[in-house]
Amino acid sequence: MIKISNEHLEKYANEHYEALKDKIDIPDDELREIILAKTEKLLEVAQKHEKYNTKFKNRYKNFTTKKEEYNAYDLADNLQVNVCPYCNINPTYTVIKKDGKKITRPEFDHFYDKATYPILSLSFYNLIPSCHTCNSTLKGSEKFSDKTHLNPYSESLDKLSKFHLQIEDSTFYHSINGFELKLESKDNRAHNNIKSFELDTLYQNHKDIVLELIQKQAIYNESYLDELITQYEGTLFKNKEDLQRLISGGYISDDEIGKRPLSKLIKDISTELGMI
């Protein structure tokens, strides 16, 4: 759903390659091409280097072993993707204690599934840090490609879809049954992402957040906002935009919505309500 935003992606991709290069016995230039292929090149690379499938299949198992010198924890720790980019609901942070004990990390979804394309099982841009629900429960063995779905390393569902509020009756100020919440897109691939990860259905569990936004929009009217600005601008918050962000309770700038769960929902509904 949300594009993976990390200004050091290329650096970490290179570190990933450097850490793996002595562990897979194929010529360096070919390994480099396989590991560092960008999203739009993945399929082409998979077909070109098919003969190495088995070597990668075995290597991936080692990569997910905690004891391995460079493993999935190290990659996840570098990426710092704290919320699942597919759903923007579940946390995917990595925790490694000061004494080195590995506590938790995201799962890695293979955008091009590893059963069909073992060769891509360690390709940096094919490894999507994601939550268990998206990776294991929902996507499972479904086949994705750049023709059918959006890869969070290169594209964001945020730009191609919007949450909408549809008022049903007058109870909408105090009841989640008074309105409908919809997530729609006219883009085919975005639509497929929504469908594969059941986003429209899952978000129905978060209508309470939407209800709170409706209530806040009514409470924080223009005159109350002015009052708060007169009283606290420069002390509690920087300016009006900052106050509006505080009220909505989410990160709302495009490059920050991946930082906190449900920020996309909060941003879209706050915008629709005229709060931001």
Q: Which residues bind Zn ion (CB under 5 A)?
A: 84, 86-87, 90, 131, 134
Instruction: Classify each residue of 38-66 as buried b or exposed e, where b means 16 or more C-beta atoms within 10 Å of its C-beta.
Output: ebeebbebbeebeebbebbeebbeebeee
Would you say 53 or 90 has its CB closer to Zn ion?
90
Would you say 126 or 217 has its CB closer to Zn ion?
126
Shortest Å distance, C-beta 76 to Zn ion: 14
Instruction: Please give the angle made by the CA atoms of 233, 236 and 240, to the nearest 5 degrees.
Output: 40
Shortest Å distance, C-beta 1 to Zn ion: 8
Would you say 45 or 87 has its CB closer to Zn ion?
87
Angle of helix 263-272 versus helix 240-248 axis, rounded to 10? 120
Shortest Å distance, C-beta 172 to Zn ion: 28
Among the listed residues 12, 52, 57, 61, the one whose alpha carbon sits nearest the alpha carbon of residue 28: 52
Would you say 134 or 243 has its CB closer to Zn ion?
134
Name the DSSP class of 261. Answer: T
- Name the residue type at position 259: K
Would you say 31 or 107 has its CB closer to Zn ion?
107
Residue 186: CB partners within 8 Å, gap ≥ 6? Answer: none
Would you say 86 or 251 has its CB closer to Zn ion?
86
Among the listed residues 138, 123, 135, the one whose alpha carbon sits nearest the alpha carbon of residue 85: 135
Shortest Å distance, C-beta 5 to Zn ion: 16
Please tell me the distance from the alpha carbon of residue 17 to that of residue 183, in angstroms, as a whole number: 38
Shortest Å distance, C-beta 213 to Zn ion: 22
Among the listed residues 111, 100, 92, the one whose alpha carbon sits nearest the alpha carbon of residue 149: 111
Shortest Å distance, C-beta 259 to Zn ion: 15
